[in-house]
Copies of this chain bind each other. A is one copy, B any other.
Amino acid sequence: MSNTELIRKLRAALKPENVLSVPSELVVYDCDAFTVERHIPLAVVFPRSAVQVAEVVRACSDHGCPVVARGAGTGLAGGCTPPPNGVVIVLTRMNKILDIRLRDAMALVEPGVLNLQLTNALSGTGYHFAPDPSSQGTATIGGNVATNAGGPHTLKYGVTVNHVAGLEVVLGDGSILQFGPVEDPAALDLARVVCGSEGTLAIVTKIWAKLTKNPQACRTIRATFASIDDASQAVSQIIAAGIVPAALELMDRGILDAVEAAFALGVPPEAAAVLIIELDGPEAGLDSLLEQVIALCRNWNPGEVLQAKTPAERELLWKCRKMAVGAVGRLSPGYMIQDGVVPRTRLPHIFRRILEIAAKHRVRIVNVAHAGDGNVHPILLLDERDRDLTARAKAASREVLEECITCGGSITAEHGVGIEKIELMEKLFAPADLRAMHRVRQAFDPASQLNPGKKYKTICQ
């Protein structure tokens, strides 16, 4: 079958207005937010249902053409960069909230529903959707499932997989399956393995999302420290004390400069690092827990400990944190954000190493971190026009991730492996582990048609 025939078939299945095949339109879909590698796809399709997704998968399969599912394209690791000569299945028009059942604390959504769209729809019900990546205003829930997305509140509430009760998926052979939403102990837990598989096992066409009760109360503070080392020691102590804050975020001086310029958060200029700590739960006992947290911070000589006194003050704190990466545009024409994870006790070490690696490669690195999770997000400032700087940034980036592996951590906590980190998988996992993953992938997608070349390489058996 020629490409023209495939496109004709896709148009017939989806109506012509849902299939793009003109190069000037296709170029928009040549990468996600990882812009280093790009491939112009053969076609881009906008299905409206699982049946249409299945038709596309089957047509492409007949044509020997790989497919990749894509949501909003906010992915940072190239997870939905088109495979060479592939078809992009954009799920953003499958964007309906199909059902909200508060009694079961569950919502049934299509994969193109935006993360924040669901939480907004729940406004006033006393429930919310817990995963809250910083991109939640634009990222889709389908994409959250594919990357197993986290966010500041992951510390207490867990990454996306913990908020998925069931999935409807299309497999590589075009069959449509449903896992859940009632957890069935008689079944193998296949929904779980699909979460975070970055589109390599199945294309998700419906999600039964678990809803989380809004906490009765919360307390949000920001504490400044004279060094990033002091701040990360405080994090390690809070976690070691058995306290589970709702969120425990760190920003260093570098990122604070950007945040101050953009939002005037009002952090004193002498502060080298800030922790944002949120506690939530029943009102009773929350203040004494807060005192305990502040006392642990005091062991590390905080400069200033301020509590958000109004919802507006709390919102400003979270806005500053969530928009921090965007504000980096004030520091540099370009940047690369990394996503590594280490045991919490190794946080002071990894921040020290990041400083050393930055100096060694002559790259400025500023830091945000879901510190409570041991999840660091060093942001490497660069200018893509400066090839030498870009190359040094990439080398530094890789060295940071290798250091995370050495610490007993991993190369991603929430962004995924995509194509960006695929070379590091062999450093992280033994051949037998990779073989086991590959075999499971084959069980779902025998022809390796779904998003080949991502997460793990195809391995000969």
Q: List the interface of chain A (C-beta within 8 A of B).
A: 103, 148, 159, 161, 171, 175-179, 182, 184-190, 192-193, 195-197, 201, 213, 240, 242, 282-285, 341, 343, 345, 408-414, 416-417, 421, 425, 428-429, 432-433, 436-437, 439-444, 455
Contacts and interface: CB of A to CB of B under 8 A. Distances in A.
A410 B187 CA distance: 10
Given A428-B186, A442-B443, A177 B285 contact: no
B185 A436 contact: no
B443 A187 contact: no
A410 B443 contact: no
A410 B284 contact: no
Contacts of A186: 410-412, 417, 421, 425, 428-429, 455
B439 A444 contact: yes
Nearest to A192: B192
Contacts of A432: 175-177
Contacts of A189: 161, 192-193, 195-196
11 contacts: A178-B433, A185-B414, A186-B417, A186-B425, A187-B429, A187-B433, A188-B193, A188-B197, A282-B285, A439-B443, A443-B443
Contacts of A429: 186-187
Contacts of A171: 436
Tell which of A193, A409, A412, A455 has the most Cβ of chain B within 10 Å.
A193
B242 A410 contact: no
Q: How many copies does the complex hold?
A: 2
What secondary structure prevails in chain A residues at the interface with B? loop
Contacts of A184: 410, 428
Contacts of A444: 436, 439-440
Tell which of A161, A175, A188 has the most Cβ of chain B within 10 Å.
A188
Contacts of A182: 343, 408-410
A433 B87 CA distance: 27
Contacts of A195: 189
Contact of A282 (B103, B187, B242, B284): B284
B196 A193 contact: no
Given A175-B432, A185-B148, A428-B184, A190 B282 contact: no
Given A182-B409, A182-B410, A443-B443, A437 B192 contact: no
A205 to B, nearest CB: 14
A362 to B, nearest CB: 29
A189 B194 CA distance: 9
Given A284-B285, A408-B182, A436-B444, A213 B188 contact: no
B213 A185 contact: no
Contacts of A417: 186
A398 to B, nearest CB: 15
A221 to B, nearest CB: 20
Given A192-B193, A284-B284, 4 more contacts: A171-B436, A182-B410, A190-B440, A442-B443
Nearest to A213: B242
Contacts of A341: 185
B185 A412 contact: yes
Tell which of A182, A414, A436 has the most Cβ of chain B within 10 Å.
A436
A200 to B, nearest CB: 9
Closest 9 CB pairs of A and B: A284-B284, A284-B285, A439-B443, A443-B443, A192-B192, A184-B410, A440-B443, A282-B285, A188-B437
A48 to B, nearest CB: 22
